[in-house]
Amino acid sequence: MNNLTIESRMVDIGTQDRGRAPVEVCEAGQGPDLVFLHGAGGLMPNDRFFLALAEQFRVHAPLLPGYGNSEGEDALKDMLDTTLHTGDVIDALGLTGAPLVGHSMGGMIAAELAALAPNDVGQLVLIAPAGLWLDEHPVEDLFAKLPFELPALLFHDVALGESLMTAGMDLEDPEFLAEFLIISARRLGMAGKILFPIPDRGLSRRLYRIKAKTLILWGANDKLINPIYGDAFAAGIANSALKVIPEAGHLVNQEKPAALVDAIATLVNAG
C-alpha cells in the first residue's frame, strides 16, 4: 500500500443563502473519479476500504450531515431530503456521472439517487445496502445495540472487528465517553430518519427505474442484513450482478477491501 493520506475539505453546496451548511468531503488517491457514500457508522479512522479504493481511483467521500464536520442535519427529515441533498453535493463537486459506490445506509442513498435520477448514474456499486425489508429475514435493530455488541454483529472476524472498532478509543475515560455519546447521537440520530424503525422507505417500488450498470456486493456472513437481500436487489435492478464475498460480515468493506476493490475496478474499467 502506498502512503496515501485522506484529505478533507469543506464544500459549499451552493445553497448557503438558504441556510444549508457546507459539507465535509474526504478525498484521496489518483485515477478516475469515484464517489463513495459511507454507512451509518461513518468512515473509520484510516479507513481500510477507502485507502484500498484510493490506490486505483480518486475517491471523494462526502460526509452526510450529522457526520464529522458536515452540519445541517436538522433540515433533512426524510429519504427524499437526504437523497436530494446527496445529489446536490455530487453536483457541487462536479462529479455527476462518476461511478457511485455506497455501503449499507450509503448504498440505500446511492440506490435511491440512481432511481430518482436514472440518467445521472452510469455505474453503481451497492455494498450490503439497506433499503429493503423481507418479513422472513428481518434486518437486525442497529438502534437497540450497545457498543460492545457491535463487533459480533458487524464482522465475520469478530476479533478484527473489535480491534478496528475500538482503535483510538478509551472507553474507561469519561470525557472520551461523553464525546463518543455526542458523536454517536448525531450520526445515528440522522441515520434513524431513513433507517428507523424499519429501513424501508419505499425503495422496492423505485428499483425498476435504475438504469445504471450495477454491482451488488455482500458479505456471506452478514448478520445485520442477511445476504438474501442481495438477491432481492439483483431481482429488482435490471442490469445488475450480485457477488457474495466469503468469510465476511456486514462490514465486508473493512474485512475484504482488496476483493471489493478488484470487483469495483472490473466494473468501472468495463465502462
Partner 1 sequence: MKFTWFNLMPWPHLPEDFREKHRSVWVDIPSSLYDPKKGHEVYNTYLDQLEYADSLGYDGIGVNEHHANAYGLMPSPNIMAATLARRTSRAALVVLGNSIALYNPPIRVAEEFAMLDVISGGRLVAGFPVGTSMDTNYAYGTVPALTREKYAEAHELIMRAWAADEPFAFNGRYTQMRYVNCWPKPIQAPRPPVFIPGGGSIETYDFCIENDYAYSYLSFTGYKRAQLLMDGFWDRVDEMGADRSPYRAGFAQTICVAETDEEAKELYAEHVNYFFNRCLHVYPGYGDAPGYRTIKTIKKGALSQYTRSSLGALGKLTWEELVADGHIIAGSPETVVEKMKELITGLKVGNIFCLLHVGNMTNEKTRLSTRLFAEEVMPKLQNMWPEWEHDERFWIHPMEDARQTSVPLAATGGAE
Q: Which spans of this chain sit near partner 1 (rule: CB under 8 A)? A: 73, 77, 143-146, 149, 178, 181-182, 184-193, 196-198
Give burial (CB, 10 Å; 0-12/13-18/19+) of 3.
exposed
All three cell numbers of 246, joined, read 466469503
Q: Which of 121, 100, 109, 135 is nearest to 190 (CA)?
A: 109
What's the CA gap between 149 and 245, in Å, rounded?
A: 23
Minimum CB distance to partner 1, residue 40 (Å):
10
Closer CB to partner 1, 190 or 225, in the complex: 190
| Residue 187 beta carbon to partner 1: minimum distance, rounded to whole angstroms | 7
For residues 132 and 233, the answer to whether their CB atoms sit within 8 Å is yes
| Min separation Cβ 181 and partner 1, Å | 6
Instruction: Report helix, strand or coil for 75.
Output: helix
User: Is 149 or 262 the residue whose CB approaches partner 1 more closely?
Assistant: 149
Nearer to partner 1, 97 or 189 (CB): 189
Q: Are 76 and 140 in contact (CB under 8 A)?
A: no
> Least distance to partner 1 from the beta carbon of 145, Å?
6
- DSSP string computed for 213-232: EEEEEEETT-SSS-THHHHH
Bridge partner residues of 245 (DSSP): 219
Residue 94 and residue 59 in contact, taking contact as beta carbons nearer than 8 Å? no
Residue placing its CB nearer to partner 1 in the complex, 60 or 187: 187
* CB of 214 closer than 8 Å to CB of 222: no
In sequence order, what are the residues at sequence separation of 6 or more whose Cβ sits closer than 8 angstroms to the Cβ of residue 236? 132, 204, 207, 208
Quick check: 28 and 59 in contact, CB under 8 A? yes
Least Cβ distance, residue 120 to partner 1 (angstroms) = 28
The three-class DSSP label of residue 36 is: strand
Using the minimum distance from each CB to partner 1, give the nearer residue, 53 or 190: 190
For partner 1, give the closer residue by CB, 181 or 241: 181
Q: In the bound complex, what is the minimum distance in angstroms from residue 197's beta carbon to partner 1?
A: 4
CB 193 → partner 1: shortest distance, Å? 6
CA 14 remoteness from chain centre: 23
Q: Which is nearer to partner 1, 144 or 270 (CB)?
A: 144
